[in-house]
Amino acid sequence: MRTTQARTYLNAWRFLFIIACAVGLLNFARYGEDLQTKNLAAHSTFHYEMTRTLAAAAGFTAAEAESIAVIDEATDLGTFTGETDVMIQVNGTQRVSNTGQYWHFARRDSNNATGGYLYPGARNTCSYFSRQFTRSCPGDEPELDEIEKWAVHASDSPGPGAPQISHDRGLTFKTIAGKSLAALAIYLHALGDSYSHEACMASAQVRTHKPRPAECSAVYWHNQAEFGEREEIDKGVHYTQEAAQATWLALKWFRRQNHRTAPALWTDEQAEQFIQNFVRLDKAQERRDLAVQALAAL
């Protein structure tokens, strides 16, 4: 009887744990939906406001920068409407799905897929999974290499297949082509996520969220650790800095590889100063205000 009762309690706790993990993924995954305004649904200030500003500063038009940022944000939950009423729906990348691990827990090499430049930090995250009982990268190629080759060069295709996109509120969906702005936006999302989840990969050799260690806790890591200046708490800030730096490099690389000749509006030094100022702000509204003001000044 006690054994049966114990099993019942154990199963109940397992069920609660699964629910807790799902809630964590929905609410806090990757610089989670940290802000909601009168005109914008809950969203990530990293994926939307910061990415939009960096895209415009890198030389994309205002409309292109808005589209990139909206699709970057829609990569998480499937649908997002930006400030200019651009509504995008993306199928095939939602984080709570069969392909969620591929798009949101991608591993990367020390350099980009073609060896054109080093990623900030220059760490091969596949190496975290070379220990016994853990799975290394398939074919020794990180998922992010595959995504970048599709997004920047159209020379490969994503393992789960290319996502689909709708610009007409879900009436029609089209497969996203490589070398397109939509593909770039999804790559930027996966690139940023590869840094956000790196500490968990290094400490626990897993590509998911779980309560322990702290680096794998969706609630702690994404809600507390990734922004601010409190050294005893904000353990993830340097990963966020590197993720933003990687975003800037990837935006410039896409333009160069696709022969976009309009000059960048910021120097690397200006972009770096903006990134440092952005990630040091602990309050999401302050991060948004900074990014919006910087965008308006371009």
Q: What average pLDDT does the segment 83-101 reach?
A: 94
pTM over 0.85: yes
Residue of 110, 99, 103, 187 lying closest to 149 (CA atoms): 187
Residues 6+ apart with CB under 8 A from 213: 200, 203, 204
The sheet carrying 174-175 orders its strands as 79-81, 87-91, 164-166, 174-175
31 and 16 in contact (C-beta within 8 Å)?
A: no
Query: Does 12 have pLDDT greater than 60?
Result: no
Reported in sequence order, the residue ranges of 82-153 that DSSP labels E, i.e. its strands, are 87-91
Minimum mean pLDDT among 10-24, 90-104, 146-160: which range?
10-24
36 and 77 in contact (C-beta within 8 Å)?
A: no
Q: What is the pLDDT of residue 162?
A: 97
Q: What is the pLDDT of residue 231?
A: 75
Each residue of 219-264: pLDDT tens digit? Answer: 899 989 999 988 778 899 999 999 999 999 999 999 999 999 999 9
Q: Which tokens sit at 259? A: 């022969």
Length of the chain: 298
| Of 141 and 294, more confident | 294
Residue of 191, 187, 170 lying closest to 179 (CA atoms): 187
Q: What is the pLDDT of residue 233?
A: 84
Q: What is the pLDDT of residue 135?
A: 62
218 and 24 in contact (C-beta within 8 Å)?
A: yes
Question: CA-CA distances (angstroms) from residue 198 to 7, 119, 234?
Answer: 35, 13, 15
Query: Domain residue spans in the chain?
Result: 2-296
Q: Which tokens sit at 182? A: 């939509």
Determine how many CB atoms are found less than 10 A away from the CB of residue 82.
Answer: 20
119 secondary structure, DSSP code: P
Mean per-residue pLDDT of the chain: 89
Q: What average pLDDT does the segment 67-91 reach?
A: 96
Q: What is the pLDDT of residue 22?
A: 41
Each residue of 32-73: pLDDT tens digit? Answer: 799 999 999 999 999 999 999 999 999 999 999 999 999 999
Q: Which helix (H) or strand (E) holds 87?
A: strand 87-91
Residues 6+ apart with CB under 8 A from 157: 146, 150, 178
Determine how many CB atoms are found less than 10 A away from the CB of residue 187.
Answer: 27
Residue 131 — pLDDT band, cuts 50, 70, 90? Answer: low
222 secondary structure, DSSP code: I
What whole-number distance in Å separates Cα of residue 66 and Cα of residue 167?
Answer: 13
Q: What is the pLDDT of residue 132?
A: 54
Residue of 59, 54, 55, 52 lying closest to 83 (CA atoms): 52
Query: Does 195 have pLDDT greater than 60?
Result: yes
Minimum mean pLDDT among 12-26, 140-154, 163-177, 238-252: which range?
12-26
Each residue of 239-248: pLDDT tens digit? Answer: 999 999 999 9
What whole-number distance in Å separates Cα of residue 165 and Cα of residue 71?
Answer: 9
What residues pair up with 174 in beta bridges, in sequence order? 165
Residue % of the chain over a pLDDT of 90: 79
Residue of 216, 208, 272 lying closest to 244 (CA atoms): 272
Amino acid at 210: K
Residue of 219, 242, 217, 238 lying closest to 229 (CA atoms): 238
Residue % of the chain over a pLDDT of 70: 87
Q: What is the pLDDT of residue 199?
A: 96
195 and 31 in contact (C-beta within 8 Å)?
A: no
Amino acid at 170: G
Counts of helices then strands in the chain (DSSP H, E) = 10, 4
